[in-house]
A = this chain, B = another copy of it.
Amino acid sequence: MKNSFFSRFTPKEPKFFPLLKQLSEILAASSELLVESLKHDSPEERTGFYKRIKDMEREGDKLAHRILDELGTTFITPFDREDIHDLASSIDDVIDGINSCAKRIAIYNPHPISESGKELSRMIQQEAECIVKAMDELETFRKNPNTLRGYCSKMHDIENQADDVYEFFITRLFEEEKDCIELIKVKEIVYELEKTTDAAEHVGKILRSLIVKYA
């Protein structure tokens, strides 16, 4: 509101787009590492992947803060200030989620992760790829919102599937797993994976609201 009021009189500066794109690429890279990490089961390998993902999480954190700091000092942005803020924060939340997954795998050190866990990690990666592509639409979706809308729908569908995978898996886990400590480990890791697919869809929801507001 504030910005759209003033933006009638002042030029816009699009410098936030490349920063958001860069942030989404950190997300994509860390989701790829997460998928890869679930193929390895030794404590050493798990700790190794966690370390690499944690480094990326810190990099993402720095970049997100740089975006938020620049928002605090820049008067005009391409969208409302809050929209850029929400986008950067929500992408950072997905990176944080991936880091939490990798952390739990490393410090709980469960038996090999089930196929459902692997499937969830691939879903996170697919959502991350949607987000990377969506960042390319930010400059143009006002004229042609269909491509961006398509990515949002895709993320929504993936999230619904992730819900089903999660619910089916947990139902079976509680029926079948009799080792209580193993159950705790697996339940919490798979819960974090599902929550991360949610966090990714949340980026999609913010993008959808941009379409409603600006396109």
- Residue-by-residue, is A15-45 near B (CB-CB < 8 Å gives 1, otherwise 0)? 0000000000000000000000000000000
Residue of B nearest to A4 (CB): B75
- A170→B108 contact, CB < 8 A: yes
Residue of B nearest to A210 (CB): B72
Copies of the chain in the assembly = 3
Task: Give Cα A104–Cα B133 distance, bound, in whole angstroms.
Answer: 35
Range of interface residues on chain A?
20 to 34
Cβ 8 A contact of A181, one of B1, B81, B183, B205: B183
- B73→A213 contact, CB < 8 A: yes
The residues of B that contact A81 with a CB separation of less than 8 Å are 1
Task: Give Cα A212–Cα B46 distance, bound, in whole angstroms.
Answer: 37
Task: Give Cα A23–Cα B69 distance, bound, in whole angstroms.
Answer: 26
- Residue-by-residue, is A48-81 near B (CB-CB < 8 Å gives 1, otherwise 0)? 0000000000000000010011001101000001
Cβ 8 A contact of A107, one of B109, B174, B181: B174
